[in-house]
Amino acid sequence: MMLSNILHRIQFNAMTRNKFITLLFIFVSSVYMYAFSGGVTGTTRKNGNGCTCHGGASKDVIVRITGPDTVKINDTASYIIKLSGGPIMRGGTNIATGKGILIAGERLRLFNSELTHSSPFIPHNDTVTINFKYIAPSSLGTDTIFANGNSVNFDGFTTGDKWNFAINKKVEIVNTTGIIDLNSLPQVYSLKQNFPNPFNPVTNLEFEISPASRQGGDLGFVTLKIYDSIGREVAVIVNSDLNSGTYKYEFNSSGMASGIYFYQMTVSNGKSEEIYREKKKMIILK
C-alpha cells in the first residue's frame, strides 16, 4: 500500500503526520544501512562477478591473501587478508575456497560455506586486516582460496565505493606422513639484498629460482623492477620467463639522484596469476 494512502486513511494532524514521516524515514534508512553493512557471498572469482552493487572492479583497491603455501591434510592454518586503497573509511570481504573449510574470525560470518563480514571492518593506517582460518581437505592436491574486498566511504550509499578481487591463493595439500617439516621445505623463490648497499653508481641484484618451483608445471614469468621512494617505476631489470637457477644482474644508477629506492621481484604462473612478490630497499649515495 502506498505511503500516501496510509496517511490518507489515518486522520493525522499536521504535526503528527510530520513525526510519522520522520520516524518512517529513520526506520527505512536503518534497514538500508543494516542491509549494506553486512556482507554477501558468491562474489569471488570462484563463482561470481564481484560486488556489482559497488560498481566495477577498481585497480585503486589492493586485496592480498597471505598465509602458508603448503598445508597438511585436515590441518588448520591461519590466513590474513590485507585491504587498502579506495575511500577505505570501512572495509568488507567475501572469502571462498575450492575444497577446504573456512572458519570465521572476528567480524566474519559463515554463509553458504563462504565467509563474509558481519559488520564493516575499521581500517588502521589506511589498511583493513582480516583474519580467518582454513582447514585443508582430506585429499592431496592443490586448493585455492578466493577473496575480494570492498573499500567504502560508509555514507549509506554505494556511490564512490570501490572494490577489487584478490589474486587467488594456491595452497598445496600434502600428506601427514613421509613429509619433512614444512619449515625445512626448499625456498622456491628468493630475492637477495643488493650488494654493495649504499652504492654509487653500481650494485648487484641477485635472486634464486629453486627447481621446486617447476613441480607444478608452470614456468615462472619474472619481473624485477626499480622504484623511487614515491613508487614511480624508474627501471626494468628483468621481464621474461626464466628457468631454475641463481641470477645476478648489475644495476648502474648513473643519472639517478641520491636517495632511497626499492627493487621488487614478482613471479606469475602460466595463468598470469601472481604467485610471489618481494620488495627490498636500496640506497644511492653520491
Q: Which amino acid is at 39?
A: G
Residues counted in the chain = 286
pLDDT (0 to 100) of residue 150? 92
Q: Can you tell me the distance from the alpha carbon of 84 to that of 63, in angstroms, rounded to the nearest whole number?
A: 7
Q: Can you tell me the distance from the alpha carbon of 229 to that of 284, in angstroms, rounded to the nearest whole number?
A: 12
pLDDT (0 to 100) of residue 105? 87
Cis peptide before 123 (omega within 30 of 0): no
**Cα angle 163-99-180, degrees, rounded to a multiple of 5:** 110
Q: How far is CA 166 from the centre of its chain?
A: 4
pLDDT (0 to 100) of residue 40? 85
Check: CB of residue 61 under 8 Å from CB of residue 83: yes
pLDDT (0 to 100) of residue 10? 47
Check: CB of residue 87 under 8 Å from CB of residue 120: no
**Distance linking the first and last C-alpha atoms of the chain:** 77
For residue 126, the tally of other CB atoms under 10 A from its CB is 11
State pTM to two decimals: 0.52
Q: Which amino acid is at 41?
A: T
pLDDT (0 to 100) of residue 89? 94
pLDDT (0 to 100) of residue 180? 34
**Nearest residue to 209 via CA among 241, 177, 182, 237:** 241
Q: What is the pLDDT along the chain (286 residues), one digit of tens a residue?
A: 444 554 444 444 555 555 555 554 444 433 333 334 567 888 999 987 777 666 678 999 999 999 888 888 888 899 999 999 999 999 999 999 999 999 998 899 998 899 999 999 999 999 999 999 999 988 888 899 999 999 999 887 878 899 999 999 999 887 754 333 334 334 678 899 999 999 999 999 998 887 655 544 445 688 999 999 888 999 999 988 887 778 899 999 998 999 999 999 988 876 667 778 889 999 999 8
Q: Residue 5 in 3-state DSSP? A: helix
Q: In the block, which residue shows the cell 571462498?
A: 96
**Nearest residue to 195 via CA among 185, 187, 206:** 206
Kindly tell me the burial class for residue 77, based on how many C-beta atoms sit within 10 Å of its own C-beta (0-12, 13-18, 19 or more).
middle
**What letter does residue 254 receive in the DSSP assignment?**
T
Kindly tell me the burial class for residue 73, based on how many C-beta atoms sit within 10 Å of its own C-beta (0-12, 13-18, 19 or more).
middle
